[in-house]
Structure formats: C-alpha cells, structure tokens
Structure 1
Amino acid sequence: MAAKGGKTLTTAASRRLRLRAERILDQEITFIFSRTFASLSDDDVELRPREEMYRYDSGSPLAAQDDAIGDLLTAVGEQSLFRRMNFLRYKASRLRSRLSRTNPKKKAVDEIERLQQEAETCRSMIAQANLRLVAKIARKLSRNEDFEDFQSEGNFILLYSIDRFDIDRGFRFSTYATHAIQRHLYRQMHRKARRTSRESITAGEILAESVEAAPVAEEPDFDPALSKRVVELMNTLDPREAAILKARFGFGGDKGEPLRAVATRLGLSKERVRQLQKRAIERLQGMMEPRMADE
C-alpha cells in the first residue's frame, strides 16, 4: 500500500506539474526586447535604492485622498523597473520555448513562474506610481458622474501601455501613457456622444470596440443586416455576458448604463464586469470574422 500510495502521489504531482506547464505554454510571454539582454544577469537589473527610485509629492491632493496612489518614480526608477520587468520576461520566454508539454522539468516550471511573478511585481510598482496620472486625466476629461468610469478605463489602458513602452526610445513613460490614455478616453467620449444622440448603438460599433489604445477610426454606419447578425450571435453568448453588453451599450434601443450601475445591479465588481464585457466582445468579433470571410 505504501508503495502504491507513493506511486499515486508521484502520479498526482506529475499531473499538477503538467497542468502548470500547460498554463505557461498556453499564454505567450510578451516583452520589449533590448539587445543588451543577452549579456545581462539578474544582478545587473537589480532595482536601485528606494531614495533613487522615488520622489514623494507631498503637495498632491490626489495622493492625500487615496492611499493606493504611490510615490512618483524618478527617471532612474522608471528605467530600473522597466528594464528589470522586460528582462525577467525575456528570460521566462526563453525558458518557455524549451519547456516540454508532456514531460516538463519542475525546475524549469518553478523558474518561469518565479520570473513571471517578479516581472508582475515590477509592473504593479509602475502602475501604482502612475495612478495619479490616470486620475488627473480622467478628472480633466469627465463630468463628475463619469469620473469613476473614465478612471477605470484609464487604469486599464495604463496597464496596456506599461506592457508596450520601450525605454530605449529616450522619453518618459508619462508622455507615452498620457497620449494613450487621452486618445482612448476621447474615443470613448466620441462614441458616447453619438450613442446619446440616437439613444442606441449600432452593431458595427460593438464589433469595433477594442481594449487597445488605437487611433480613432471612422464610426461604422448603421447596417440592418449586420445588426440582425449580431443579435443572432448575442443569443449564443453566456446569458450574463449578453446582459452586460446590452446594458453597457444600450443595444436594442435603450440607453447604455455606466459601469458602476451594471456592476451594482449584477452584484459584481466593476473590474469583473469589464472583463466579461471584453470577453463577450472578443467572442462576437471571433464569430463574425469567419462569416465575413465567406461573403
């Protein structure tokens, strides 16, 4: 029994290890490459002392109101965090490329997970230090009732921007992030104004929704055939996802609801509603692509 029990435990441990390896292999590790990475070690990208990385803005009313808003990064601190984050992801990606799905090595899986976790810590530190930037932009562009929605949207684009910022281009992250966040929020304002003027969204606008900070494109015109197709496809979504899309975008003649209102009504967090909305849009887009290709 002991031998059998030991074998069972070994088999169970192997199964858990394969599941961990599958999670790693099923998700691409993205990073901004630098030619210096090949010659660097972990010690070369150690974070600088805190006094070199941060400067405290004691006069900021935003920081005083919200403990979640971190101290501002110096140029040195910003460089240190971005270089370390991308180097750790680079190392994890190289290990991942050699990882076996059927016979993974525990040491490799442990190391990849460690590298990803440490990279995520760097990402969180960058985000924390830039929350006041998002709040400032959201307050500037929004009405009082829209501020939380704008701030939530801005935080999402902030994380997107962190993953795509290249420190070797020579400018500060705040410049890059400000442009990306403002562009996204202006696009949201433009779409909301169009929806308010006619009280409902076209199917084409739902399909054009994107989480990426892309340039504002021409708004899709109303297309009855496309609207009918989207309604049909929405019926194949998870009921909760479909309900969120209808509530958020006012599809079908109703006015769209703010993120907070939908979250409160469904008993979910705002971030969870955003995740479900994003997933539903991606599913609609995925289902539409093959149909459009056939036409």
Structure 2
Amino acid sequence: MSALTLSPWQNLSGSATAPQATRLEDYDNHRNRALELVQIEIDFIPNQEFELDDDGGEDVVTSTLRQGNDSSQGDVDLPAHLRRLCDCALLTPEQERILFREMNFLKFRASVLRSRIDPDDVEATTMDAIESQLAQAQRIRDHLIKANMRLVISIVKKFVTPQQSFDDLLSEGVVTLMKAVEKFDFDRGFRFSTYAYRSIVRHVYRTVTLAAKEEASFTRDAEEWAFEDADTSSSSLMSDQIWSNLRELLASLLDRLDRRERFIIRSRYALGAHRKARTFQSLADKLGVSKERVRQLESRAVGKLQAFAVESKEDDLFTAAML
C-alpha cells in the first residue's frame, strides 16, 4: 500500500467533490494515527542480540501464551478471586528468558520503525506492524505478571498488620511486580523471581514501616490535640464543678467508642483544648481517609452515644449536673 501524500490544501478551489472529501478525511485519519504512534513512549531493555534480528524464540512464546491455566497451582487457602490470579503455570527458566527477550525485542523493533515515521508520508502497513508488535509485547508482559502473582501473594502475607490490610499490600506488591517486569534484564544470568522478590520485599517493607511511623505520629498528635487541659481562662455558663462532672460522664461514654471514633467526636464537637470544631476535610487529612468516610464514622459514633445515653440511668445525668 502506498503512503497517503495528499495535502489538505490540494484541490480545494471551489466546492470539494465527494471523492475529494473522502480522500481528505482518509488523509487526516492516517496522519492522526501516525502522530499518535510518534507520541507513544516505548521503553525496553536493549540487548546486542536485537541487532541480529533473530526471531528464533517465537514458537516458544506462542506455545507458552497458549498454555491453559493450571488450577492445581492455586493456593487452596486463598479466596476464589485470588486463586484465579495464581492459576497460571509456572515458567521454566528457558520460557522465562525467551518471553523477556521477545517482549523487549518486539519493543525494540517497534521503536526502530517508529523512529522512521514521517506523519505526512508513512505507509499504513508500517503503522500496522508497529501496533501489532506493541500489542504482542503487552500480551507477553501480562503473562509474565500473572505467572509471578504467587510470588507477590506469598510475600504480602508475611507483612500484613492491623494497620495494613492484605488487599492494600497486595495492590502495592502487584504495582511493584509490574515495574519489575519492565525493568528486568533477561541477559543478567539470574531468574526473574530473584530480582522481583527483592524489589517487592523492599517496597512492601517500606510501606509497612512508613504506615507504622504515621500511626505512631497520629496517635501522639491526636492525644495531645484532643486531651489537653481545658483553657481555664475561657468563659462558660456552667461552673467549673458542673463542667467537670458532665465532662467525666461524657468521657465515660466516649470511652466506649473506639479510638478513631473518640478522636472524631472530640474534634468535631470542640471537646479538645482548642475549643474549635474541626472540619471533615481537616480530619480526613489527619486520618488519611476520604471526607465522606469521616462523615460516616461521625454518624456511626453519634448513634452509639445516643444509644449509650438511653442506657444510662437518669440519676447519673442529674448527679453530674449537681454541685
């Protein structure tokens, strides 16, 4: 197929005929497609073998990608949706090396072809070849990720904490695995699992450690923020004794809430030292959750306090208000 070289300004004197309009539209579509390919980032690990243009591994790649899933590879202790992520057959060292080589070789060839593109003079067959090579590289990448999912899960299970759920850490581990697949040099002489294991462990460990530090900082700041002594100079309609009694009763009710609920109620209703109600957004930033989630937690906590108040004896309320 010859390249479309029609200029948009050719044959435009007077009204364009239908064939001319069609050719102009084809030209624009052709050029836009070329421009999109030029803008795509193609990252690959270079290798001297690529210059030889050797396609000897295509048969292995094709047969590996066609392999059916192996349900026996799944961990019976995992939920069904996670078992499905682990049912891809493990790769042999030869399969692994060939897949990584082919993925990077396809990107290399696509990059070479793409470097020769002139958006105003490029054949459709060239663009077809680039898109086909990038699509096949993507299929290989996806297979490599799935074949190593068991590694991610086995690592993540060791790092789960009350602050870091399995799902959160799994997400972090999968992202790290995806990056490792892109960065792995198949010609270094060691297995991908060795490289990926180190990367995932380092990242997950940093994630858990950072979360623990933030939790400790949050707890310390929250206690200082919410439990400081009241400002004795502030005016009040109640005597200090009445306020002290009611405050003690309220504290006993608040103690029945969990730590995060207590923090939100004290902050939202100005029960802290600063006597200033905090906004949902400021609490969301402090807790590291969404504003809507803070609103839900406040509503739940208020409901609990109302139930606690109903359960309390009326004498407790009268006694708290008496000098």
Q: TM-score range by the shorter chain?
A: 0.5 to 0.7
Aligned to 1:31: 44
What is the identity, as a one-letter code, of the residue corresponding to 1:16? N
Aligned to 2:105: 87
- Alignment deviations for residues 207-258 of structure 1 (CA, whole Å, 9 cap, x no partner): xxxxxxxxxxxxxxxxxxxxxxxxxxxxxxxxxxxxxxx99xx897521139
Residue correspondence of structure 1 range 16-165 to structure 2 within 5 A: 16-47=29-60, 49-50=63-64, 58=72, 60-61=74-75, 65=80, 66-69=83-86, 70-143=88-161, 146-165=165-184
Q: Is the 8 A contact 1:142 1:150 kept in 2?
A: yes
Q: Report the alpha carbon displacement of residue 51 of structure 1 after superposing the two structures with TM.
A: 11
Task: Give the Cα–Cα distance (whole angstroms) in 1 for the partners of residues 38 and 31 of structure 2.
Answer: 10
Q: Is the 8 A contact 1:54 1:73 kept in 2?
A: no
- Choose 1 or 2 for highest CA Rg: 2
What is the identity, as a one-letter code, of the residue corresponding to 1:139? K
Q: Is the 8 A contact 2:45 2:184 kept in 1?
A: yes
Q: Report the alpha carbon displacement of residue 104 of structure 1 after superposing the two structures with TM.
A: 3.1
Change in CA separation of 1:174 and 1:52 when aligned onto 2, cut-off 3 Å: farther
Task: Give the Cα–Cα distance (whole angstroms) in 2 for the partners of residues 30 and 68 of structure 1.
Answer: 26
Residue correspondence of structure 1 range 138-217 to structure 2 within 5 A: 138-143=156-161, 146-199=165-218
Change in CA separation of 1:253 and 1:123 when aligned onto 2, cut-off 3 Å: closer
Change in CA separation of 1:139 and 1:107 when aligned onto 2, cut-off 3 Å: same
SS in 2 for 1:254: helix
Change in CA separation of 1:43 and 1:255 when aligned onto 2, cut-off 3 Å: same
- Alignment deviations for residues 137-187 of structure 1 (CA, whole Å, 9 cap, x no partner): 111111376111111111111111111101110000011011111111111
Q: Report the alpha carbon displacement of residue 96 of structure 1 after superposing the two structures with TM.
A: 0.9
Q: Normalising to structure 1: TM-score of the pair?
A: 0.63
Q: Report the alpha carbon displacement of residue 43 of structure 1 after superposing the two structures with TM.
A: 4.7
Q: Report the alpha carbon displacement of residue 108 of structure 1 after superposing the two structures with TM.
A: 1.4
Q: Is the 8 A contact 1:73 1:129 kept in 2?
A: yes
Aligned to 1:208: none
Deviates more, 1:181-190 or 1:88-97: 181-190
Q: Normalising to structure 2: TM-score of the pair?
A: 0.58
Q: Is the 8 A contact 2:74 2:84 kept in 1?
A: no
Deviates more, 1:190-199 or 1:105-114: 190-199
Q: Is the 8 A contact 1:32 1:164 kept in 2?
A: yes
Change in CA separation of 1:57 and 1:167 when aligned onto 2, cut-off 3 Å: farther
Q: Is the 8 A contact 1:54 1:74 kept in 2?
A: no
Task: State the identity %.
Answer: 31
Change in CA separation of 1:52 and 1:121 when aligned onto 2, cut-off 3 Å: closer
Deviates more, 1:80-89 or 1:33-42: 33-42
Change in CA separation of 1:199 and 1:94 when aligned onto 2, cut-off 3 Å: same
Q: Report the alpha carbon displacement of residue 195 of structure 1 after superposing the two structures with TM.
A: 1.6
Q: Report the alpha carbon displacement of residue 57 of structure 1 after superposing the two structures with TM.
A: 7.9
What is the identity, as a one-letter code, of the residue corresponding to 2:185? D
Task: Give the Cα–Cα distance (whole angstroms) in 2 for the partners of residues 127 and 55 of structure 1.
Answer: 14
Q: Is the 8 A contact 1:127 1:159 kept in 2?
A: yes
SS in 2 for 1:33: coil
Change in CA separation of 1:9 and 1:55 when aligned onto 2, cut-off 3 Å: closer
Change in CA separation of 1:184 and 1:37 when aligned onto 2, cut-off 3 Å: same
Q: Report the alpha carbon displacement of residue 59 of structure 1 after superposing the two structures with TM.
A: 5.7
Task: Give the Cα–Cα distance (whole angstroms) in 2 for the partners of residues 75 and 251 of structure 1.
Answer: 51
Task: Give the Cα–Cα distance (whole angstroms) in 1 for the partners of residues 79 and 165 of structure 2.
Answer: 22
Change in CA separation of 1:256 and 1:37 when aligned onto 2, cut-off 3 Å: same
